Amino acid sequence: MKFIKHNCIDINEQKVYLGIGDNNIVFDIGARTDCLLADLNNTNKIYAFEPNPEFYIDLVENNKNKNVVCVNMGIADFQGESIYYNNSQSIRHNKSYNYDYQSKFTIKLTTLPIYCNSNNITHIDLLKTDCEGLDYDILKHSIDFINKLKIPYIQFEFWHEGVKPFQELLTEYNLYFINGAPYVEYIENKECLLYVDSDLLNILDNILTPKDMGGNIFCVRKTLDTNIVDFINNIQEQD
C-alpha cells in the first residue's frame, strides 16, 4: 500500500483508513482544506464538513473530480448558528490559548441525525471527527443515532477532556489509540493501534492530556471481526 506525505496526517492514521477497505461511506467532520482520505482511496464516497468559508473554498478546489461531497456547515450538538473563533478553528472560546478572539464570524451548524435524515443517508462506514474540543459533544448528542445505524468505525480526536468520557459513552465499541512519533517517550509499544486498557488510559488521561498532548482514537464496533486491528497493525508500505 502507498502512503502520502502530509504535514498533519501521519502514516498510522493513513494505515487505519487504508485498512477499512473499499467502497465506504465516510463522514469527515472538520475537513479543513483538503481531504486526504479521497487521495488514499478513491472508491469511497466522502462527506466533508467544513464551516469556515475560507477553508471551504480550498476544500472544494482541492477535491474537484473526486468522490467528495463538500458541505459548508459544521456538525455540532444543536442546529442553528454560532460564533466561530477563527484562530482556534472552533465555536468554543478556549481561554487556555492566547488567541485573538476578535477574529470571529457566524457559521451554520446542524446535527448528525438531522443532516442524515434530511439527505436520506442510512449508512455510514466511518465517522471521523476532528473538531477542536467539540468531538465529545457531537458524539454524545448523536449516540442513539450512531447505535441505530450501527456505524462500524469511529475516529475522534481527544484533548483536555481525556479519553475516559468517550470510553464511557461508546459502550458498543472497542477503543484503540492511534500511536505515533510524538508519544515514543511515554508509550513503549510501537504498534499502530493500541487497545485502550486501564494502563494506557492512565497514560493518555493523566500524563499526556495534562501536557496538552491530544491524539486520535479509532473505535471498532464490538460485533465486528477484530482481525481488522491486526490487519491494520501489519500494513506495510509498498514501493
pLDDT in tens, 157-207: 998 899 999 999 999 999 999 999 899 999 999 999 999 999 999 999 999
In a domain, 116, yes or no: yes
In a domain, 209, yes or no: yes
One domain, residues 186 and 223: yes
Q: How large is the C-alpha radius of gyration of the chain?
A: 17
One domain, residues 62 and 108: yes
What local confidence, expressed as pLDDT, does residue 176 receive? Answer: 98
One domain, residues 36 and 98: yes
**Rounded to whole angstroms, how far apart are CA atoms 180 and 190?**
8
In a domain, 165, yes or no: yes
One domain, residues 39 and 127: yes
What local confidence, expressed as pLDDT, does residue 35 receive? Answer: 80
In a domain, 64, yes or no: yes
In a domain, 146, yes or no: no
What local confidence, expressed as pLDDT, does residue 100 receive? Answer: 55
One domain, residues 129 and 33: yes
Q: Which residues of the chain have pLDDT under 70?
A: 1-2, 5-8, 87-88, 92-102, 238-239
pTM of the prediction? 0.93
One domain, residues 115 and 192: no
**Rounded to whole angstroms, how far apart are CA atoms 92 and 51?**
14
For the purposes of burial, counting CB atoms within 10 Å of the CB of 125, is it exposed (0-12), middle (13-18) or buried (19 or more)? Answer: middle
In a domain, 4, yes or no: no
One domain, residues 131 and 161: no
| DSSP-based three-state secondary structure for 176 | strand
**Rounded to whole angstroms, how far apart are CA atoms 74 and 6?**
24
One domain, residues 200 and 232: yes
Task: Mark which of 106, 140, 174 sits at the end of a domain.
Answer: 140
One domain, residues 125 and 227: no
Task: Mark which of 140, 164, 180 sits at the end of a domain.
Answer: 140
For the purposes of burial, counting CB atoms within 10 Å of the CB of 129, is it exposed (0-12), middle (13-18) or buried (19 or more)? Answer: buried
CA nearest neighbour of 175 among 217, 229, 126, 133: 217
One domain, residues 115 and 60: yes
Q: Tally the domains of the chain.
A: 2
For the record, the C-alpha cell of 225 comes out as: 471481526
One domain, residues 44 and 134: yes
In a domain, 11, yes or no: no
Tell how many helices (H) and how many strands (E) occur in the chain: 8, 11
What local confidence, expressed as pLDDT, does residue 236 receive? Answer: 85
**Rounded to whole angstroms, how far apart are CA atoms 47 and 38?**
10
- Distance, C-alpha 102 to centroid of its chain: 27
One domain, residues 120 and 80: yes
Domain extent for 224: 152-239
In a domain, 97, yes or no: yes
Note the helical H segments in the chain. Answer: 11-19, 36-40, 53-62, 112-118, 135-149, 164-169, 198-203, 227-233
Task: Mark which of 140, 170, 197 sits at the end of a domain.
Answer: 140
Residues near 60 by Cβ (< 8 Å), separated by ≥ 6? Answer: 70
What local confidence, expressed as pLDDT, does residue 225 receive? Answer: 72
What local confidence, expressed as pLDDT, does residue 25 receive? Answer: 96
**Rounded to whole angstroms, how far apart are CA atoms 212 and 204?**
11
